[in-house]
Structure 1
Amino acid sequence: MSTFNLPDVGEGLTEAEIVSWKVAAGDTVTVNQVFVEIETAKSLVELPCPFAGTVTELHAAEGETLEVGKPLITIDESGSSSGGAPAEAPAEAEEQPARPLPRDPAAESVLGEVVESPAETEDDDAAAPARAASPAGSSAEAETHGEAPGPLVGSGPKADPARRRRRVNRPTPSASVREGLKGARARLATASGPASAVVQSRMAASGAAVSGLLERVLAKPPVRKFAKELGIDLAKVTPTGGHGEITREDLLSYQAQREAEQAAAPTFWQETGRPERIERQPVKGVRKATAKAMVDSAFSAPHVSIFVDVDATRTMEFVQRLKASEEFAGVKVSPLLILAKAVIWAAARNPNVNASWVQTATGAEIQVKHYMNLGIAAATPRGLLVPNIKDAQDLSLKELAVALNGLATTARAGKTSPADMKDGTLTVTNIGALGIDTGTPIINPGEVAIVAFGTIKQKPWVVSGEVIPRWITTLGGSFDHRVVDGDLSARFMADVAAIMEEPALLLE
């Protein structure tokens, strides 16, 4: 008989909740077979079995919280084909961290919006308007803060290649033609009178058309028809299609949730069988850890918050160019990528925002980190998680985009590993995903700064004395005043805003 005790899964935790058993008493197990799923204060972990044999006893029930080091499962090895020799000694097994599920490479490189396949781009001319509209993205909020997409479904069979016409490449304008166009643009810019007014009105109409494309929600015609039948506003639906589009399943899920909420609403205020009319929810797992961390942070670090409105129009244009480039084909790109790069760039110019306040035996010290483990706050069904991208300062723009996609996909699936949750140095919280303009976030424990990214939406903005529509967002930052003074926090936020207003600075 061998008893396997609940291990510390590598993050110094003291307890874990049994979420679900994958085996029962009497079952035969093999070495490294997943036998239980536990929930720590930060993540869901599947534990592999260190022994082979027959399960004789499970020492805890599902939903029960067990302390680290307490018996978890007992296995009779006498009946195993391996002769009962364990893969590792029990003491060693206790020290082994649980293995996180492998990431799906396909899920880490999905697109945020529809990109034409070679077959699609060679289709007949009747499909050209739809293809022209497809790179426009979704609504400002959905495009800016879109959820991590899933695999593409409902794409349907491809058309017969025999019916497709051959693509004809457009000729590249010569140098003389390009120079002539530049001269024409310069003359138009300096022109005056009625002709100039006509040109300006046409340019304004063109700008309005572009804005309409940027706000367009990605969905195929049958899905749009189905949404109209259900009375659903597509802008309110979270897309999960492989290219960032809304699928029929998304509509069904949204409708089911809406119906459930509507069905429960009339009875919510009525008696529920509880004499005190109070529903009691136990605080455990992620909620327990989050509550403790936020209290510790709020009452130990003196917070100071500042805000800045930013004209993110050039960021929106830059994102569109990245999506259209061959280098970023197959990679989801959103303004959050530009903000993340801006935070890394601004922290290098203001190093003390990427630091920690540490109490030592001889007194307090400020530890400035010469690396960036960029945390991204993620709302998941299990609660708030803040995984981080290790050494984000060393990643190219494309590598950072892939890392962000993988982080979000893994977090929403509840499979974030404990190692990805540790040692963050600065955090970004994307509250704009919920349509919120700004907020006053609480600093993640162990850090001294956090940036809140609000939604991007069109607002009237004054440019050169004229009021025109621009894509505007509000950035909020909270800082530990023991480390970051008001002047430093203001300079840091101004640097982040400068990148959002002119992303080309990243290329210098």
Structure 2
Amino acid sequence: MKIFKLPDLGEGLPDAVVREWHVQEGDHIAAHQSLVTVETAKALVEVPAPWGGTVEKLFAAADETVNVGEPLVGFKEAGAPEPEAEEEAGGREPAPAVERADSGTVVGKIEQSGAVLGAEVAPSTTPRRLATPAVRALARRLAVDLTGLQPRGERFTAAEVRAVAQQAPAAKAAKPADKAEPEKAQMSPARRAMALAMSRARDQVAPMTLCDQVDISAWWGKESATLRLIRALQQACADEPNLNALYQDEQLRPAASVNIGLAVDSPRGLFVPVLKDVAARTDDEILQQIEDYKEQARNQGIAQQDLQDGTILLSNFGAMAGRYATPVVLPPTVAIVGAGRTFQGVVAVDDRPAVRPLLPLSVSADHRAVTGGELARFLKSMLQALSR
């Protein structure tokens, strides 16, 4: 048997959870065909076949955890006899070569072989799936059985799954329970990834945070606040490149381009997709990419490559609540910008009090790699860019 082991999917986690198999034992598949969807570190990842062949064994069931480097799929070795043929041929003389050539089987008659092969060949079409992998994973986590249910549209949505899950407790409450059992909660891959990342930040980073607020009346209500934040961050990175950098092996390496990890909140958890090389992209391209990431986070999950290679992070937590924060720096990056909730505040304009929209900013940096002066100049650059 030729064994394919779970590869390192690049998220820093030692394992992944099997969410859906796309093949079955006995299927003949081509190289690069999708084998399985696994969940790791906030991403649903489809793992392709490294080579073509016949699937002999699946080493894990749905919702099981597989460690990186452990067997995932076993392929039948080229030239090995089929299991059924081995059982029938045990203790018998091999059939003549001419008979094998005529019938296409190890033993048996021509009339039988057609029926057997016809039963073993996998169907050429797969049944239509009524939910995306992300929605099916959500249904499993909420213990919702989609079998026998019909979606309102072409496919089930996450909202429909949650609606069914909310009805389930009421139905259970109506039935008398013999004995209450404590609930057993299993930490999801996304939360385990968060725990590992926060542990690394706690153990490795020397954090410092600087806060201020800026009058944004010049453009507030006329332009996208997220886009203005991204462009201001881009300008600040150009002015203080040591904050757009990676700190690894006790070496600070400023990045050649500004790749902003943008926090995106979704029902499945927090995603941090990366807007790569923002200086080379138009405003419309950036806004469209953000909308695409939001849609992917709500539905099928964000592609693995889009969650990597960030050089600085932006958290727009003010869209929900809060003015100031102490954002956590995630190594190997050295800085993160937090934008709070815009509020109406009193400022001095021509020596007179005036009410203006004010945007709070909180910037954290790793003091091992960044000086206090660099952090202050970075924040000052952002304030100037946002005030115009």
The normalised TM-score by structure 1 is: 0.53
1:309 aligns to 2:195 (yes or no): no
With over 3 angstroms needed to count, the CA separation of the structure-2 counterparts of 1:265 and 1:16, relative to structure 1, is closer
- Give the aligned CA root-mean-square deviation in angstroms: 3.9
Structure 2 unaligned spans of 5+ = 80-152
Instruction: Give secondary structure in 2 for the equivalent of 1:23.
Output: coil
Q: What is the distance in 1 between the residues matched to 2:356 and 2:164?
A: 38
Given the alignment of the two structures, is residue 68 of structure 1 paired with residue 68 of structure 2, yes or no?
A: yes
User: Contact 1:382–1:414 at 8 Å: present in 2 too?
Assistant: no
Which of 278, 297, 300 is residue 204 of structure 2 equivalent to? 300
Residue 436 (structure 1) shift: 2.8
Matches within 5 A, 1:228-247: none
In the alignment, which residue of structure 2 is the partner of 1:283? 187
CA displacement 1:49-81 (0-9 Å, x = unmatched): 3455654432101111112232222345889xx
* Secondary structure at the counterpart of residue 306 of structure 2: helix
Query: What is the rounded CA distance, in whole Å, between the counterparts of 1:493 and 1:295 in structure 2?
Result: 27
2:34 is matched with 34
CA distance change for structure 1 residues 425 and 276 in 2, over 3 Å: closer, same or farther? farther
Aligned-pair CA distance for 1:455: 2.2
Structure-1 residue corresponding to 2:369: 483
Deviation at 1:344, TM superposition (A): 0.9
Aligned partner of residue 218 in structure 2, secondary structure: helix
Change (3 A) 1:263 1:59: closer
Q: 2:303 aligns with which of 414, 417, 420?
A: 417
User: What is the 5 A alignment of 1:3-152?
Assistant: 3-9=3-9, 14-27=14-27, 29-50=29-50, 55-76=55-76
Q: Does the C-alpha gap of structure 1 residues 286 and 257 become closer, same or farther in structure 2, counting only changes over 3 Å? A: closer
Q: Contact (CA 8 Å) 2:58, 2:74: kept in 1 or not?
A: yes
Which of 239, 250, 253 does residue 349 from structure 1 map onto?
A: 239
2:95 matched residue in structure 1 = none
Among the aligned pairs, what percent are the same residue? 33
Summarize the Cα distance change of 1:265–1:438 in structure 2 as closer, same or farther, 3 Å threshold. farther
> Partners in 1 of 2:178 and 2:203 — Cα distance?
35
* Aligned amino acid, residue 358 of structure 1: Q
Letter in 2 for 1:59: F
Normalized against structure 2, the TM-score is what? 0.68
Q: 3-state DSSP class of the match of 1:46?
A: strand
**Separation (CA, whole Å) in 2 of partners of 1:462 and 1:10:** 50
CA contact 1:7–1:69 (8 Å) conserved in 2: yes
Instruction: Check 1:373–1:258 CA distance in 2 against 1; reply closer, same or farther (3 A cut).
Output: closer
Conservation of the 8 A alpha-carbon contact between 1:428 and 1:450: yes
Query: Would the aligned equivalents of 1:11 and 1:419 in 2 still touch at CA under 8 Å?
Result: no
Query: Normalized per residue, which structure has more helix?
Result: 1
1:339 deviation in Å? 0.4
Distance, in Å, in 2 between the alignment partners of 1:301 and 1:403 is 31
Which residues in structure 2 correspond to 1:465-484 (within 5 Å)? Answer: 465-484=351-370
Alpha-carbon distance change, 50 to 276 in structure 1, aligned in 2, over 3 angstroms: same
State the shift of 1:352 in Å: 1.9
Query: How many residues are treated as equivalent by the alignment?
Result: 313
The Cα of 1:266 is off from its aligned counterpart by 10
Aligned to 2:387: 501
Give the structure 2 partner of residue 448 of structure 1. Answer: 334
Q: Partners of 1:450 and 1:374 in 2: how far apart? A: 9
* Structure in which a larger fraction of residues adopt strand: 2
Q: Tell me the secondary structure at the aligned position of residue 227 of structure 2.
A: helix
Match of 1:365 in 2: 251
Report Cα offsets for 1:433-458 as digits up to 9, x if no partner: 21332321101221111111112244
Per-residue deviation at 1:404? 3.0
Q: 1:256 to 1:4 in 2, by over 3 A?
A: closer
Letter of the 1:341 counterpart = R
Once the two structures are TM-superposed, the CA of residue 409 in structure 1 deviates from its matched residue by: 3.3
**Residues 92-151 of structure 1: CA deviation (Å, up to 9, x unaligned):** xxxxxxxxxxxxxxxxxxxxxxxxxxxxxxxxxxxxxxxxxxxxxxxxxxxxxxxxxxxx
What is the CA distance between 1:347 and its match in structure 2?
1.5
Q: Distance in 1 between matches of 2:163 and 2:38?
A: 32
Q: The residue matched to 2:192 in structure 1 has which SS? A: helix
Say whether the 8 Å CA contact 2:247–2:331 is kept in structure 1: no
